[in-house]
Amino acid sequence: MIEPLVKTIEVPCDQAEAFEVFVDQMGTWWPLARFSASVKFGMSPQGLRVQPRVGGTIVETSTDGTEHLWGTILEYDPHDYVRMDLHIGLPPQTASRVEVRFVALEAERTRVVLTQSEWERFGRFAEMMLQGYPRGWVVIFEQAYRMACGGRAPEDRAGEG
């Protein structure tokens, strides 16, 4: 009855880099200033660390050293596929499954397909995400993104080859 949420983006790099940046180096790009567990608890986010293996954890650290468990890696299949249980410091029963698939289109072009299932169980997580979400940020970011890669917003890029 409740269909998964699917988001697609195409990135100008090979499949291995697309995978490694997304998973192993998630901390280098995740917009922590906007979406973090620290904010929920009145702290400031410092970093995000991923143990890139099955059973590995995704942990956010606050500037005061507090750690927030985001979730666990359920399947780790470089450089094709990763599946995570994300609950971001909240009880595991609020978790939602997020899987990401990496499809090589060309030598330097990879399609990244993110699927979130059981997203309707995500009440608490989503409420946390709601914090510190300044109005207009999307617009600002999408402009920056367009400038950075001379492209369009990710939704528009879906299906392009």
Partner 1 sequence: MAYAQVLTALADPTRRHIFEALRDRPMTVGELARGQPVSRPAVSQHLRVLESAKLVSVEPRGNRRLYRIERTGLDELRGYLDRFWSDVLSAYGAEIARRKKTGKRGASGR
Contact residues toward partner 1 (CB under 8 A) are: 1-2, 5, 7, 9, 11-13, 16-18, 20-22, 24-25, 28-31, 34-35, 94, 112, 114, 116, 119-124, 126-127, 129-130, 137-138, 141-142, 144-145, 148-149, 151, 153-155
Q: How far is the CB of 117 from partner 1 (least distance, A)?
A: 11
Q: How far is the CB of 71 from partner 1 (least distance, A)?
A: 14
- Closer residue to partner 1 in complex, CB, 62/125: 125
- Closer residue to partner 1 in complex, CB, 43/90: 90
Tell me if 124 sits within 8 A of 94, measured CB to CB: yes
Three-state secondary structure of 5-17: EEEEEEECCCHHH
- Closer residue to partner 1 in complex, CB, 25/57: 25
Give DSSP secondary structure letters for 12-73: SS-HHHHHHHHTTTGGGTS-TTTS-HHHHTT--EEEEEE--STT-EEEEEETTS-EEEEEEE
Q: How far is the CB of 75 from partner 1 (least distance, A)?
A: 19
Strand partners for 9:
112
